């Protein structure tokens, strides 16, 4: 049981509805929905980060006292990490001065209440020209993949641990993966933190992309 499991509902017809994104989250086992491109991209990074155990978009609304004045605030995401710590997140572009005021209130409230706060901008979300594009591909494949069996999974992971790294094309020809499903399986392993992809931030995924076993 997590502190926040369901978001505060926001109507698409409201002021938030101009950039609406929704997708099925394998991690939180429901549809998630946000109202800006950057918030969607941030959720993709949380969805595909194995160190993130759980997250909830729009978890709460509250008030903060700043300079003797009461200010209404809401948070964009609450994140629970695999090591047991959690944090509220505010998401905005680095040059968005209007939103910076709100994130300052968010940070102030967290400080007042002894809670962790993280500001997420395009600088730590995008992480390179191709990162979000590649994550979207991997997330779509990982969410619909089902491991054939525990034994088959152990054999694949054992194989990757022996070779350590190879290209997607070579792995497809290895006979270890179902025809046409190699990238699906690799996306699942990336989701679980078993493999990484070389230079995923700066190059588009292709058959020549190297897969690196990291064995988490």
58-62, 93-97, 107-111: least confident range: 93-97
In a domain, 12, yes or no: no
The SS3 of residue 43 is helix
In angstroms, what CA-CA distances link 32 with 21, 61, 153, 160, 190?
Answer: 8, 18, 29, 33, 21
Q: What is the pLDDT of residues 39-88, one digit of tens each?
A: 999 999 999 999 999 999 999 999 877 777 888 889 999 999 999 999 99
| 201, pLDDT greater than 70 | yes
**Listed residues 125, 147, 163: the one ending a domain:** 125
| 14, pLDDT greater than 60 | no
**Listed residues 100, 125, 150: the one ending a domain:** 125
pTM of structure: 0.92
135 and 112 belong to one structural domain:
no
Could you tell me which residue, 191 or 68, shows the higher pLDDT? 191
Segments forming the whole domain that contains residue 163: 131-213
* pLDDT at 125 (0 to 100): 96
82 and 143 belong to one structural domain:
no
In a domain, 16, yes or no: no
112 and 138 belong to one structural domain:
no
30 and 90 belong to one structural domain:
yes
In angstroms, what CA-CA distances link 84 with 52, 79, 87, 90, 145?
Answer: 10, 10, 10, 20, 27
């Amino acid at each position: 049981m997590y502190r926040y499991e369901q978001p505060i509902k926001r109507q698409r017809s409201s002021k938030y509805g101009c950039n609406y994104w929704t997708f099925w989250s394998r991690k939180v086992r429901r549809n998630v929905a946000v109202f800006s491109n950057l918030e969607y991209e941030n959720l993709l990074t949380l969805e595909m980060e194995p160190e993130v155990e759980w997250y909830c978009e729009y978890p709460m609304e509250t008030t903060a006292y700043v300079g003797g004045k009461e200010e209404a605030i809401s948070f964009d995401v609450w994140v629970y990490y695999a090591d047991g710590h959690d944090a509220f997140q505010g998401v905005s572009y680095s040059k968005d001065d209007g939103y910076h005021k709100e994130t300052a209130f968010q940070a102030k409230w967290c400080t007042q209440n002894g809670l962790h706060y993280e500001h997420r901008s395009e600088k730590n979300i995008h992480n390179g020209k191709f990162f979000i594009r590649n994550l979207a591909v991997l997330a779509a494949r990982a969410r619909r993949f089902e491991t054939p069996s525990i034994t088959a999974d152990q054999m694949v992971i054992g194989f990757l641990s022996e070779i350590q790294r190879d290209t997607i094309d070579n792995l497809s020809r290895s006979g270890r993966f179902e025809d046409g499903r190699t990238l699906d399986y690799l996306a699942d392993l990336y989701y679980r933190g078993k493999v990484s992809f070389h230079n995923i931030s700066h190059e588009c995924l292709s058959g020549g992309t190297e897969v690196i076993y990291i064995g988490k």
